[in-house]
């Protein structure tokens, strides 16, 4: 997981509220936000069925923002497609991301779900009074986050997101790839909708990435053509080449570049 910049010191989140259990909670309406006396920066978010603990985000702001993730009514959005169930952003290490409040009341909490509260490094409120949180992606890896207010038992239906942090070649000191491979496997796996991944090429190559069912039949083309050296990130929307939503099951992602063929398996669940 990446180290994050401008974070408030965190106490053990599991001790904040007895209501912050290790299970997921249904979505609820926010009734109000109260500062906690004697604990600067800590707030209680009162909803229709529980009380959520979160921190006020740092007030300092980065001067250069590479990506913006918007907090909408019940979803995060980084690519302009608010219909994506679990928002996925692919960004190079060293870039700075701004999580920006747009509407509603939310938390920005690290992890896959409430079961990760005890180890989360950030757990901030995003609302009209606390409108942004900036963080610099300091290490290659995957950063998951979710909103406690709009969390459902199934993460794939929750207000949640993932940032896949790559070793982008524009970052000083980044090593140039030496072979054709998947630098990021399909994720999330399994997935209900969009699958994100990345490939690397050591030199310019005619390249194709295709999706096949378990019987080997090609069902979708992700990319086909000449690609330059470096890392190339993609998202596939779980649909066939004709635009049909593919059935649940096991699928194969196949990369061909020159004489090299690599495959990765993943699953769709509906």
Residue boundaries of the structural domains of the chain: 13-166, 181-268
Supply the mean pLDDT for the chain: 84
Count Cβ neighbours within 10 Å for each residue of 25-50 and write b for 16 or more, e otherwise: bebbebeebeeeeeeeebbbbbbeeb
d(CA 167, CA 164): 10
Share of the chain above pLDDT 70, in %: 86
Confidence band of 20 (pLDDT split at 50, 70, 90): very low
On whether the pTM is more than 0.75, the answer is: no
pLDDT at residue 7 is higher than 50: no
d(CA 168, CA 5): 19
Share of the chain above pLDDT 90, in %: 49
Mean of pLDDT values over 198-205: 87
pLDDT at residue 40 is higher than 70: yes
Instruction: Answer yes or no: same fold for 13-166 and 181-268.
Output: yes
The CATH label, of 2.60.40.1930, 2.60.15.10, 3.90.650.10, 2.40.50.90, for the domain at 181-268 is: 2.60.40.1930
Nearest CA among 259, 253, 263 for reference residue 206: 259
pLDDT value at position 18?
Answer: 34
Q: Are 160 and 86 in contact (CB under 8 A)?
A: yes
Q: In this predicted model, what pLDDT tens digit does every residue of 110-120 receive, in sequence order?
A: 999 999 999 99
pLDDT at residue 196 is higher than 50: yes
Coil/strand/helix, residue 72: coil
Q: Are 187 and 234 in contact (CB under 8 A)?
A: no
CA angle 193/138/202 to nearest 5° reads 70
CATH number of 13-166: 2.60.40.420
């Amino acid at each position: 997981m990446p180290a994050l910049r401008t974070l408030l010191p965190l106490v053990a989140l599991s001790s904040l509220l007895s209501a912050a259990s290790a299970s997921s909670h249904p979505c609820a309406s926010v009734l109000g936000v109260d500062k906690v006396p004697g604990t600067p920066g800590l707030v209680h978010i009162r909803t229709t069925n529980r009380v959520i603990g979160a921190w006020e985000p740092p007030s300092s702001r980065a001067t250069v923002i590479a990506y913006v993730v918007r907090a909408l009514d019940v979803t995060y959005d980084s690519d302009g497609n608010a219909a994506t169930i679990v928002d996925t952003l692919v960004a190079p290490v060293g870039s700075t991301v701004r999580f920006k409040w747009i509407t509603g009341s939310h938390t920005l909490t690290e992890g896959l779900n409430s079961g990760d509260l005890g180890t989360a490094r950030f757990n901030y409120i995003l609302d009209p009074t606390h409108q942004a949180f900036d963080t610099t992606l300091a290490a290659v890896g995957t950063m998951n986050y979710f909103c406690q207010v709009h969390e459902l038992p199934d993460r794939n239906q929750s207000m949640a997101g993932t940032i896949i942090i790559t070793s982008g070649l524009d970052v000083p000191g980044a090593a140039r790839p030496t072979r054709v491979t998947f630098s990021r496997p399909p994720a999330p796996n399994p997935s209900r909708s969009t699958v994100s991944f990345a490939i690397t090429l050591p030199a310019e190559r005619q390249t194709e990435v295709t999706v096949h069912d378990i019987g080997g039949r090609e069902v979708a083309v992700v990319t086909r053509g000449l690609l330059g050296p470096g890392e190339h990130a993609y998202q596939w929307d779980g649909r066939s080449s004709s635009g049909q939503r593919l059935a649940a099951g096991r699928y194969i992602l196949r990369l061909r570049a020159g004489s090299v063929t690599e495959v990765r398996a993943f699953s769709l669940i509906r």
